[in-house]
Structure 1
Amino acid sequence: MALNSCSNENVIREASIPDQVSYNFHIRPILSDNCFACHGPDANKREAGLRLDTEAGAYAALKENPDQHAIVPGNPNKSQVIKRIFSEDASEKMPPPESNLTITDYERNLIKKWVDQGGVYEKHWAFEPPTKKTIPIPDSDEWSHNPIDGFVFAKMEDKGLSPSQKAEEGYLLKRLSLDLTGLPPTSEEVMLFGSGEKSWEEMIDLYLDKPAYGEKLALLWLDISRYADSFGYQNDNIRTQWPYRDWVIHAFNQNFPYDKFLTWQFAGDLLPDPNREQILATAFNRNHKVTEEEGVIHEEYRMEYVLDKTNTFSKVILGMTMECAQCHDHKYDPISQKDYYNLYAFFNNTPEKGFEGGAGSAVRAKTPLMWIDTDDTEGILDFVNHSDTSKVAVSIMQDFQDSIRPTFILDRGLYDAPKGEPLTANTPAIIKPFSSELQKNRLGLVEWAFADDHPLTSRVFVNLIWQEIFGTGLVPSSGDFGMQGKLPTHPKLLDWLAVEFRESGWDIKNLIKMIVSSATYQQSSAVTKAGLALDPDNTYLSRYPRLRLHAELIRDMVLSSSGLLISEIGGPSVKPYQPEGLWEASSSGRGELNIYRQDKGDKLYRRGIYTFIKLTLPPPSLLLFDGSNRDICQVNRNRTNTPLQALAMLNDPLVLEASRVLAEKLVVEYGDEKAAIDEAFIRILGRLPKDDEEKVLEEFYAEELERFKMEPVTATSTLLVGESPTSEKEAIRTAALMQVIVALYNLEETITKT
């Protein structure tokens, strides 16, 4: 089969009006972008009484002209929407010129054909429960490995594309190791796979079974759960939520089913006779920022905390921007302000306080809380890495036992402006009505979310995992499955995976294994001119995307490849190298966080997931590479390229120290410079160097060796970097090899999945 071949006709073909126009996939996005702000769900902003987001509103007689209708099904000539969007008269043209919105000629004709075909409205695709579509098996498909590939190949064919060649073994193994463990493959693993001693499936199982797997997947979840090591706000001080992070890593490594994983976090305290592990998991709800400012209004901040919990639930379970409805009915999605505060009511019954002591408090958690000591870590909480004898306080979730705090709609979202009658905890009916058989508490809410016919829970998580592996989700707007969100690029694949995930018992490792076993995943990332012309953004997955590593994983790659990494799992956060004066120059931080006290010894070489995150001033080494600042629930990260990133890789003390340490090891282990360079290359890039690469590196080494022979003092001073012990042997050879290793760390390929 020809790979990545496409004709010139395919490259230059223009979009044409489809034979059958779909409201969901063709019309709604146009109306949502251009019309719903004035003619959508928000009654307070609705113009002329016209509502275009519902069939009833669009078909109804116009308020100002009762003999006319916005849409007359099957009759574009009598439909005022068609007349207005085609009009050149500024006084009647829609959208109006002053809105700075424009509907293209293609979009106008699309809407006209839709009306001509009956103007049929459909329920928003994301609010329909997913169903397993038939797996496409095209006659020409000799490429597919599993059902994922059938869907992807069919879409490629439809777009005039074809798959890329399989990636070379070295690139493929590095990709897999980074995706499943966040660490580069070891030299031994490269040889095992390269020699054929271990198969692809065996390598997948090897990495899924490593403790590092839980740390890698926890990175995604800590962004979602807004985990940090300080309370945030101006009067910032240390908090001790890290046992929760230990639990997340433990849960992923134990392969908790996703329904259990989320149930414990949202409502572990409401389970029958909950144990201490289930209660610890509820710290998820309490990771939001907490004020320690004297003089704040208690109720204002208590409400902020409940809002955060509500918004986090809507983003991680529903994949929706429900926070828009805090102040008014949602402008685009059929979510009213009442819907929002009904959901808010599930989280509004906790004894949590808006303000509980200032930054001088010795307790590093807020009520309600649980204490963990060494006795706990010898029992059910044995996964908590608590090495000293002190007690650790963790903020957890709890509800009032004998009363229910009343919830009201808040006028314009203001804490002191309740209006109307008290609300009952409930869910938006447009998504799925809340069953009367369920308890009206957080436990009932999670049971609602995991019902077999829930339209969003499985889709949203499958999409997050896809995004983690491919850089972009099957729904590109992973935090917005609503009307303003992006349409799924492969809707049938998304639904097939969502149902398969649920039917597997919500098995996360099984989902990941299925994805990385696919031919889609194993494609080369090489770009062809034809493929680039047809699909510049790689929407249809005819190649593997080149993706820069997450900030923490860049650190992990440097530590692991150099041999500096301390692989200890869990425990309190650590403070590695950081430019002097940053914390002191900021006005944020009190008590222990007033001054940056860098850690020593092994603590300097922990994985990036354990780096201390001060909310008011996150670690600069992580922010430079688009790390999350963790102040809100975040389901995706940006990937930027800036000169500061290059400067960091060239000058970061950790990169230089790692280069020196690896050089010292290799100089001792290998008398042959070529063998030493090859070993460094394998450790850092996960593959053997090609002949031309090897030649360039050997020439560079020879140049540096000659330079340091002429300047032995410079060689010695070059090695004086970092706090790990420095060897005094072979200073000149070591310094020369160190420069080669620094160069390897600064290759674009080094910090990129290819």
Structure 2
Amino acid sequence: MMRWFVLAISLICLASNTCLADPIDFVHDVRPILQKHCYECHAGDVRKSGLRLDVRSEAFKGGELYGESILAGKPEESPLWQFIADEDADLQMPPEGPTPTSEEVAMLRRWIEQGAVWPDGVDEVELADPTNHWSFRPIEDTTVPQVIRTDWPQNAIDQFVLARLEAQNLSPSKAASRADWLRRVSFDLVGLPPTQKEWEAFKNDDSEGAYQRVVDRLLASPRYGERWAQHWLDVVRFADTHGFEVNTERPNAWPYRDYVIEALNQDVPYDQFIREQLAGDTMNADAATGFLVTASVLLSGQIGKDEASKRLARQDSIDEIVTNIGTSFLGMTIHCARCHNHKFDPISQRDYYEMQAFVSGVEYQDRKFEIPLGDMQRDQRKRWSQRRSELHLQIATVAPLADSTAPRPMVNSYENIDRFTPVRTQQVRFQVQATNRYEPCIDELEIFNVEGVNVALAEQGAKLSSSGNNVSPNRHELRLINDGNYGNSSTWMSNEVGGGWVTVEFAQPQLIEQVVWGRDRLGKFSDRLAMEYVIEVRDEKGAWKSVANSANRHPFDPQKNSHTPVDIDSLAENKQSHVRQLIHEKDELTRKLSQLANSRAVFAGTFREPDEIRILGRGSPEMPKERVSPSVPDLFGATTLPQDSNEQQRRLALADWIVSENNPLTARVMANRIWQGHFGLGLVETSNDFGHNGVPPSHPELLDWLSAEFMRSGWSLKHMHRLLVLSSTYRQASSFNQAAAEIDTDNRLLWRYPPQRLMGEVIRDSILAINENLNLEMGGPGFSLFDKRGGLSGFSPVKSFDKDGLRRMIYSHRVRRERDPVFGAFDCPDYGQSTPRRRESTTSIQALNLFNSRFVIDQSRVFADLLKDQHTDTPQQIEEAYQRVLMRPPTPQEQTEAISLVDQYGLASLCRVLFNSNEFLFIR
């Protein structure tokens, strides 16, 4: 209800020509009212609801809730006057303190009616231009500074660092020893300690370019991609579960992790790396779009069935994508403008929702895609296939030959082995004569020569023909029968009920002895199984000759049908365990090969018609306002697309803007991340926030030079690594200097190399590498750290590992909110939030885990056994242990104490002590 006296006075004023004619003076008449009733909550640093009334531009812009607070000439539509004059307003103002008098209310009304004149130069304060922030300015072509000491710099980096040191009358530290530098650069670039052989080679190499050769070797190693992928996955919050309360497994998230490793190893230019992650579906890099959906997300069963809950869940999922893009690529907290204008940076609510519009057609789910295998996957597939062939031959020795009088195991939907006397041919025909139901299906037809090679594979040059097949998009096509993939989704299906044939023609004649086939090697389906069949080869005259058939197999029995192609129970007892072990290993390889396939499922972005995006009042989907088009924040200029732009155009336009040389953030942010990876702290300490709330760079000119050099190099990360690790700045010793510390306590001027503790993953990998127990198999599904791979709670840790569990830790199955029980104590993230930089805590749990965990005890014993195999006497074993763990021999005192320890508690105890030592755990 409007105060009657306010209305009365207002009407009197309206009726009075004299009242209207008198101009209102803002300084004399209006500002005192605002100071008295408004400034306590809406001036200076106190800006409740984002409203500030002591600066003209801010006052007219309004706050977070109601837009413009003052509309010149329209007092009834101006929230400022409404909330003061109307007792029933949503926000009665002021909430506390003296109520404005009727004269004051009338004065504000008259001022607004007369045009709300607020003269220039009368603001309480003068605001700095928020767009004139150091990170928003163009990258400058910085001049390399001159320095007094000219014998120290190796490259421009050193000149920038030395110039700052000299300005403070500081000097850099002496160079680190060769051993310290080699250990440092090895951990930095590949996350593993140098081997004794590598150390000896470097120690004895006095020729020019010795350091360069070490760096080139490390950057060429596939271990480099594994090491640096960890940094990136921390930033983008990658995990193998969905998060939230249920934390369901994402079984097909890992291809994105493998994509990142492969891209880094191939030194994919960073601008292309970004494009592929935003629009990889247009660039034959589908797995890269896993970036778009790395964050936690609610699944359909976790979302309320009402429409309001669905709208909120959709908003949350799009917000996660904008968050990832903003923090990862731009170092900006754009997502803070979801509910109101950004409190620190010049990012409006409109800017935020215009960014949403770029990705409003992205969904979260598994999808199939065709992908050419990278070098890593091809090598891995070859190794797995060769090993699987070896296992076939070993298992086949306990299976009767196809032409034997003894019956073979029953026809099996999982896998069947038909062996025969070796025969030379160039064509093999598999002819189905009857099935247990419907048209026959075969997921993979494998034909092995006497060398154990599957010569039926398409990559071996084999060609196919068939009697016909039931084709559906990417399913049941003839090409799927020899693509190396297993399972129902990769099968050939005949178009003839109960029959059909497939012929495989080799690139050249082969001496073959075995055919292996199955209806569904993953064991989900047992219908459409070929019950009666004949396997034929074509001789030199073109005639077909049978080499195996189903006649002497047991009849099909659904109750007894199993995945085991051998009747193990019929074997001698001393063979059963061995055969079961072989079959288990072969089954695991079958599973892995099915997941490492040209046609692959991946949890990644899927794309549809974009949602209509509107600005949301207070960030609520139930308060929609005007519709917006895809556009970058006004701060960065005009990159706006029409509202009817299709989904793909939107993501491509966004990627093009992010990698544009006119965007000053992208190169700066990544150059800073690379620096942080080598020195522990970025030139900008807040590497995910380059905005007003972040920390300014310690060396702004150096950061700009590095950013420009990054772009000049063609966005090459490996080029940047070389620059940094070959600099004198990086080569410094880490010894402490009290005088320098009094001037620069935090070593931000880099008067020494900053010591750093190894990451938890690196500690684990290094222990395994030192005792030669590290499994270097790359790629594929992750190994389990817990007894389950997703769920509500109660994750019991796996305590002992073998085979897959001894791979590098980046290949572990990452469960959100569950850190590794041993090495998670070393500040591993929980994968729920972006972790741009690992903090380095020191806790008693770290020492207890490294000394008492089953993993470290087991690996210490393995290390001790290795040392005993190499040396028979204790002093030599101790010296070898020190050399491997610390890259130096023990001192005489250490040798004496170690001998006493070994004599009393055993060599494994010494190994545990060395793994616990700070000298091992820290890079210096």
Could you tell me how far apart the structure 2 residues matched to 1:282 and 1:147 are? Answer: 36
Could you tell me how far apart the structure 1 residues matched to 2:742 and 2:342 are? Answer: 38
Is 1:698 equivalent to 2:895 in the alignment?
Answer: yes
What SS does structure 2 have at the residue aligned with 1:430?
helix
Is 1:266 equivalent to 2:471 in the alignment?
Answer: no
1:31-42 matched pairs, under 5 angstroms? 39=44
Which moves more between the two structures, 606-615 or 306-315? 606-615
Could you tell me how far apart the structure 2 residues matched to 1:550 and 1:379 are? Answer: 28
How far residue 639 of structure 1 moved from its aligned partner, in angstroms, is 1.2
Is 1:669 equivalent to 2:870 in the alignment?
Answer: yes
2:298 to 280, 283, 291: 291
Is 1:406 equivalent to 2:612 in the alignment?
Answer: yes
1:605 to 806, 812, 816: 806
Is 1:564 equivalent to 2:761 in the alignment?
Answer: no
Is 1:395 equivalent to 2:393 in the alignment?
Answer: no
How far residue 226 of structure 1 moved from its aligned partner, in angstroms, is 1.6
Aligned to 2:501: none
What SS does structure 1 have at the residue aligned with 2:636?
coil
How far residue 698 of structure 1 moved from its aligned partner, in angstroms, is 2.1
Could you tell me how far apart the structure 2 residues matched to 1:574 and 1:241 are? Answer: 13
Could you tell me how far apart the structure 1 residues matched to 2:147 and 2:41 are? Answer: 40
1:450-469 matched pairs, under 5 angstroms? 450-469=659-678
1:688 to 870, 879, 888: 888
Could you tell me how far apart the structure 1 residues matched to 2:58 and 2:167 are? Answer: 30
Give ranges in structure 2 of 5+ residues lacking alignment: 1-39, 63-69, 71-123, 385-588
Is 1:135 equivalent to 2:140 in the alignment?
Answer: no
Aligned to 1:280: 287
Aligned residue type for 2:601 = A
Could you tell me how far apart the structure 2 residues matched to 1:396 and 1:428 are? Answer: 26
Measured against aligned partners, the alpha-carbon deviations of 1:159-204 in whole angstroms (never above 9, x if no partner) come to 2211000001111110000000000010111111111267111111
Q: 1:474/1:679 Cα in 2 relative to 1: closer, same or farther (>3 Å)?
A: same
How far residue 394 of structure 1 moved from its aligned partner, in angstroms, is 1.1
CA contact 1:574–1:611 (8 Å) conserved in 2:
yes
Is 1:242 equivalent to 2:448 in the alignment?
Answer: no
Aligned residue type for 1:290 = V
Q: 1:407/1:169 Cα in 2 relative to 1: closer, same or farther (>3 Å)?
A: same
2:222 to 189, 198, 211: 211
How far residue 623 of structure 1 moved from its aligned partner, in angstroms, is 2.6
CA contact 2:173–2:751 (8 Å) conserved in 1:
yes
How far residue 495 of structure 1 moved from its aligned partner, in angstroms, is 0.2
Is 1:619 equivalent to 2:820 in the alignment?
Answer: yes
Aligned to 2:52: 47
How far residue 677 of structure 1 moved from its aligned partner, in angstroms, is 1.9
Could you tell me how far apart the structure 2 residues matched to 1:175 and 1:505 are? Answer: 27
1:654-665 matched pairs, under 5 angstroms? 654-665=855-866
- Please, what is the CA RMSD of the aligned residues? 3.2
How far residue 282 of structure 1 moved from its aligned partner, in angstroms, is 0.7
Could you tell me how far apart the structure 1 residues matched to 2:613 and 2:130 are? Answer: 35
Aligned to 2:909: 739
Q: 1:118/1:286 Cα in 2 relative to 1: closer, same or farther (>3 Å)?
A: closer
Give ranges in structure 1 of 5+ residues lacking alignment: 1-34, 58-62, 64-114, 354-365, 709-734
Aligned to 2:538: none
Aligned to 1:539: 748
Aligned residue type for 1:427 = V
Could you tell me how far apart the structure 2 residues matched to 1:379 and 1:149 are? Answer: 37
2:178 to 147, 155, 169: 169
CA contact 2:756–2:923 (8 Å) conserved in 1:
yes
Measured against aligned partners, the alpha-carbon deviations of 1:508-531 in whole angstroms (never above 9, x if no partner) come to 100111000100000000001101
TM-score of the aligned structures, taking structure 1 as reference length = 0.74
Aligned to 2:630: 425
Aligned residue type for 1:556 = D
Aligned residue type for 1:177 = S
Could you tell me how far apart the structure 1 residues matched to 2:694 and 2:288 are? Answer: 31
What SS does structure 1 have at the residue aligned with 2:664?
coil
How far residue 597 of structure 1 moved from its aligned partner, in angstroms, is 6.6
1:157-556 matched pairs, under 5 angstroms? 157-196=166-205, 199-239=210-250, 240-269=252-281, 271=282, 274-275=283-284, 278-292=285-299, 293-296=301-304, 297-350=309-362, 352=363, 366-367=365-366, 369-370=367-368, 377=373, 382=378, 387-388=589-590, 389-391=593-595, 393-400=601-608, 403-418=609-624, 420-434=625-639, 441-556=650-765
Could you tell me how far apart the structure 2 residues matched to 1:622 and 1:408 are? Answer: 45
* Corresponding residue pairs, total: 600
1:92-107 matched pairs, under 5 angstroms? none
Q: 1:395/1:434 Cα in 2 relative to 1: closer, same or farther (>3 Å)?
A: same
How far residue 329 of structure 1 moved from its aligned partner, in angstroms, is 0.4
What SS does structure 2 have at the residue aligned with 1:617?
coil
Aligned residue type for 1:568 = E
1:707 to 904, 907, 911: 904
Q: Once superposed, which parts of structure 1, at least 4 consecutive aligned residues long, lie more than 3 Å away?
A: 35-44, 51-54, 115-122, 292-295, 375-387, 389-392, 435-440, 593-600
Aligned residue type for 1:187 = Q
Could you tell me how far apart the structure 1 residues matched to 2:42 and 2:881 are? Answer: 57
Could you tell me how far apart the structure 1 residues matched to 2:125 and 2:610 are? Answer: 53
Q: 1:118/1:451 Cα in 2 relative to 1: closer, same or farther (>3 Å)?
A: closer
Could you tell me how far apart the structure 1 residues matched to 2:693 and 2:870 are? Answer: 58
Could you tell me how far apart the structure 2 residues matched to 1:41 and 1:442 are? Answer: 38
CA contact 1:40–1:53 (8 Å) conserved in 2:
no
Aligned to 1:75: none
Measured against aligned partners, the alpha-carbon deviations of 1:438-459 in whole angstroms (never above 9, x if no partner) come to 9851111111111122110000
Aligned to 2:792: 588
How far residue 46 of structure 1 moved from its aligned partner, in angstroms, is 2.9
What SS does structure 1 have at the residue aligned with 2:917?
coil
CA contact 1:145–1:517 (8 Å) conserved in 2:
yes
TM-score of the aligned structures, taking structure 2 as reference length = 0.61
CA contact 1:41–1:329 (8 Å) conserved in 2:
no
Larger strand percent: 2
Could you tell me how far apart the structure 2 residues matched to 1:184 and 1:504 are? Answer: 29
Could you tell me how far apart the structure 1 residues matched to 2:814 and 2:327 are? Answer: 22
Aligned residue type for 1:202 = R
Q: 1:678/1:287 Cα in 2 relative to 1: closer, same or farther (>3 Å)?
A: same
Aligned residue type for 1:466 = W
CA contact 2:631–2:640 (8 Å) conserved in 1:
no
Aligned to 1:78: none
CA contact 1:41–1:53 (8 Å) conserved in 2:
no
What SS does structure 2 have at the residue aligned with 1:397?
strand
Could you tell me how far apart the structure 2 residues matched to 1:445 and 1:36 are? Answer: 39
Which moves more between the two structures, 220-229 or 697-706? 697-706
Aligned residue type for 2:55 = L
CA contact 1:40–1:51 (8 Å) conserved in 2:
no
What fraction of aligned residue pairs are identical, expressed as a percent? 33
- In our comparison, the structure showing a higher alpha carbon Rg is 2
What SS does structure 1 have at the residue aligned with 2:173?
coil
Could you tell me how far apart the structure 1 residues matched to 2:347 and 2:800 are? Answer: 48
CA contact 2:51–2:58 (8 Å) conserved in 1:
no
CA contact 1:39–1:53 (8 Å) conserved in 2:
no
Could you tell me how far apart the structure 2 residues matched to 1:516 and 1:552 are? Answer: 22
Could you tell me how far apart the structure 1 residues matched to 2:649 and 2:43 are? Answer: 35
